Amino acid sequence: ETGVTQSPTHLIKTRGQQVTLRCSSQSGHNTVSWYQQALGQGPQFIFQYYREEENGRGNFPPRFSGLQFPNYSSELNVNALELDDSALYLCASSLRLLADTDTQYFGPGTRLTVL
Amino acid sequence: GDSVTQMEGPVTLSEEAFLTINCTYTATGYPSLFWYVQYPGEGLQLLLKATKADDKGSNKGFEATYRKETTSFHLEKGSVQVSDSAVYFCALRKRNSGNTPLVFGKGTRLSVIA
C-alpha cells in the first residue's frame, strides 16, 4: 500500500511569485486536507477536498487555492507569495466513511521558503 | 473556538526515564483525540488515538487516556529511548461530521540522551 507522497520536497521562491505543491493520497482514500506548519508551531488547517470539491476551509486568504483530481490527488496553489508563507506544507489523506472515524495520514511535507 | 494546549518544551530526559507530556483541550461536544509524532525532517505520523471518554490509546509503549472530566489526554511512556527524540503534537477532531479538520497544539520537543 502506497502512503501519502508530496512534491517537491523543498522549494525556494521570491515574494510575489506563485507556487504549486502536489500531493498523492494514499490508495483508496477520497479526502485530502492541507495544513501549513510554521517553524516551531503546530499545523494549521488550510482546506479540505472531498470528491473533487472544497469541503471546508480554515482562516486563509483566497490566494490559497486548491484542486482535487479524479484519482484523488491534489494541488495547493499559492499566489502573490509573502514572506510569512514560508512554512512546511503538509498534505493528509483519509477515507471518509459514514461515521466520522476516519484517520488522517500525513505526507512528508514540502518545505517552502519565500525570499 | 476549539483549541489544544500542550506543555511547553523542550523536554530533556535520560534514556529509560518516565515520560509525561500534558495535553488539555477545549471543544464543544465530544471530539476524538490524537497524538502525532514528527521526527526531524519528516511529516507527521499518527502515534495513537482515542475516540470516546475513558478510551486508552496505545502504541510503541506510549499511552494516553481520554479524560472527559479534566478535558485531558496526557501522553505517557514508562521508559524512553534515544529513538523517541522528536516533536509530539496533541490534536483533536470534532466528530459531528466528516469534514472537520484536526486542531493541533503547538507541539512539545522531546530530547532523550543516552
Each residue's pLDDT tens digit, B23-62: 999 998 889 999 999 998 888 999 999 988 999 999 999 9
pLDDT at A47 (0 to 100): 95
Q: Is the pLDDT of residue B1 over 90?
A: no
pLDDT at B97 (0 to 100): 60
- CA dist list (Å): B29 to A32, A45, B12, B53, B57: 24, 20, 35, 12, 20
> In angstroms, rounded to a whole number, what is the distance separating the alpha carbons of residues B85 and B83?
5
- Of the listed ranges A5-19, A89-103, B52-66, B93-107, the least confidently predicted one is A89-103
Chain A, nearest residue to B44 by Cα: A106
User: Tell me: the pLDDT tens digits for B53-109?
Assistant: 999 999 999 999 999 999 999 999 999 999 999 999 999 988 766 567 899 999 999
pLDDT at B9 (0 to 100): 85
Average pLDDT value over all residues in chain A: 91
The values of phi and psi at residue B18, to 5°, are: -85, 135
| Chain A, chain B: beta-carbon pairs less than 8 Å apart | 71
pLDDT at A65 (0 to 100): 96
pLDDT at A2 (0 to 100): 66
- Answer whether B51 sits within 8 Å of A90, measured CB to CB: no
- Answer whether B95 sits within 8 Å of A103, measured CB to CB: no
pLDDT at A98 (0 to 100): 52
Chain A, nearest residue to B105 by Cα: A42
B93's CB contacts (< 8 A; 6+ apart) are A100, B31, B32, B34, B100, B101, B102, B103
| DSSP bridge pairs for A48 | A33
Residue with the three cell numbers 522528536: B86
User: Tell me: the pLDDT tens digits for A34-51?
Assistant: 999 999 899 999 999 988
> In angstroms, rounded to a whole number, what is the distance separating the alpha carbons of residues A46 and B23?
23
Q: Is the pLDDT of residue A52 over 80?
A: yes
Residue numbers in B near A48 (CB within 8 A): 99, 101
A62's CB contacts (< 8 A; 6+ apart) are none
Residue among B79, B89, B90 nearest B112 (CA): B79
